[in-house]
């Protein structure tokens, strides 16, 4: 049944762990819309004949009983609430990456996708992942807004300059799936394509071994020294001109002017690119912006280094 409707609607294969559920909701909503549409057209046809104009006859007037009106309105409301509930549950699931996900960074620029793996290895327009393993994709852009879209996974997420947005998926079947850019981003937008290659875990492990060049966190450490980050940030917990990076990742940070923020990838990246927007309470606004100075993979490596400085890794 699922397969039949999928083909009828000309949808690509359901290649991620969430695709099937998203499709079922989609079918239900489309099916209901079709049913209501047919009902309305059938009634129009019936009424056209039943109440057609006769010489010397006044068209009869009908009044719907209140109870019928209430029932119709309640059924419609209940249907919409039910869809919202199912949709929202799925949305929440799609928004919450499992803690065992492999973190891969992606940087979009006109007109290509660059991927950076935990080993520090980078690839263009080709994302290799093992099947059955959750992948968390942390995306940003070098220039304009792009949108990372894998139709077969039923997933799409905008990527923005100076910010990190995340998306996660588990590929279910080995195969090659199209990556498209779903946000018009200039003359080469339609050529901004890539592919996800889902591989058997053993093949993936072999491939990673053959391409490993080091470790993203240690690349980040070198970069942090090179860009002068470590002149103001310590890594042993002592506050200096800026907050220490020790145990910073994942902690809750009090902000200047009130409020708190969780120091996640998005916040740390924002702080590199736009340091004064969410200033940590008790520190002067001394830090310069690194927007345009740090490339996407470099910012990712530094975040990965900060992440490695937690005393209790895992969260």
Which residues lie near ligand CUA (CB under 6 A)? 108, 111, 146, 181, 183-185, 189, 192
Instruction: Report the residue number, 185 or 263, with the smaller CB distance to ligand CUA.
Output: 185
- Nearest to ligand CUA of 185, 301 (CB atom): 185
Map residue 252 onto helix, strand or coil.
strand
Distance between CA 194 and CA 137 in Å, rounded? 15
Residue 206 C-beta: closest distance to ligand CUA, Å: 32
CA–CA distance, 315 with 313 (Å, rounded to integer): 6
What are 70-74's contacts with CB under 8 Å, separation 24+? none
Q: What angle do CA 21, 194, 197 make, to 5 degrees?
A: 65
User: Looking at beta carbons only, is 109 or 128 nearer to ligand CUA?
Assistant: 109
Instruction: Enter the tokens of residue 240.
Output: 């200096």
Supply the minimum distance, in Å, between the C-beta of residue 141 and ligand CUA: 8
Query: Minimum distance between the CB of residue 115 and ligand CUA, rounded to whole angstroms?
Result: 15
Q: How far is the CB of 180 from ligand CUA (least distance, A)?
A: 8
Q: What is the 3-state secondary structure (H, E, C) of 108-173?
A: EECCEEEEECCCCCEEECEEEEECCCEEEEEEEECCCCEEEEEHHHCEEEEECECCCEEEEEEECC
Calculate the CA 103 to chain-centre distance: 13
Nearer to ligand CUA, 141 or 219 (CB): 141
Nearest distance in Å: CB 179, ligand CUA: 11
Q: Considering the complex, state which of residue 192 and residue 223 has its C-beta at the smaller distance from ligand CUA.
A: 192
CB of 187 to ligand CUA, least distance (A): 10
Going 223 to 228 to 234 to 239, the CA torsion angle's sign is negative
Query: Which one, 147 or 219, has the nearer CB to ligand CUA?
Result: 147
């Amino acid at each position: 049944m699922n397969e039949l409707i999928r083909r009828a609607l000309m949808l690509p294969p359901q290649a991620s762990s969430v695709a099937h559920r998203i499709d079922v909701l989609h079918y239900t909503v489309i099916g209901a819309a079709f049913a209501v549409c047919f009902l309305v057209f059938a009634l129009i046809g019936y009424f056209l004949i039943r109440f057609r104009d006769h010489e010397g006859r006044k068209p009869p007037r009908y009044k719907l009983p209140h109870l019928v009106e209430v029932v119709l309105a309640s059924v419609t409301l209940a249907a919409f609430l039910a869809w919202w509930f199912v949709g929202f549950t799925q949305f929440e699931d799609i928004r919450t990456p499992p803690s065992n996900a492999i973190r891969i960074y992606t940087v979009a620029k006109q007109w290509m996708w660059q991927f950076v793996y935990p080993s520090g290895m980078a690839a263009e327009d080709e994302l290799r992942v093992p099947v059955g393993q959750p992948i968390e994709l942390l995306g940003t852009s070098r220039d304009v807004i792009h949108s990372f879209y894998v139709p077969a996974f039923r997933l799409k997420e905008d990527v923005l300059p100076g910010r990190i947005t995340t998306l996660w998926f588990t590929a279910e079947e080995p195969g090659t799936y199209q990556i498209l850019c779903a946000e018009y981003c200039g003359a080469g937008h339609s050529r901004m394509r890539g592919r996800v290659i889902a591989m058997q875990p053993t093949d993936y492990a072999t491939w990673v071994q053959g391409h490993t060049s080091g470790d993203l966190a240690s690349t980040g450490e070198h970069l942090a020294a090179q860009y002068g980050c470590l002149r103001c940030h310590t890594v042993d917990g002592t506050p200096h001109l800026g907050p220490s990076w020790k145990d910073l990742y994942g902690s809750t940070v009090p902000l200047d002017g009130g409020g708190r923020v969780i120091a996640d990838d998005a916040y740390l990246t924002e702080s590199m690119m736009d340091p004064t927007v969410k200033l940590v309470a008790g520190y002067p606004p001394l830090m310069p912006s690194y927007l345009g100075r740090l490339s996407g993979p470099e910012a990712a490596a530094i975040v990965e280094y900060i992440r490695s400085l937690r005393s209790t890794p895992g969260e």
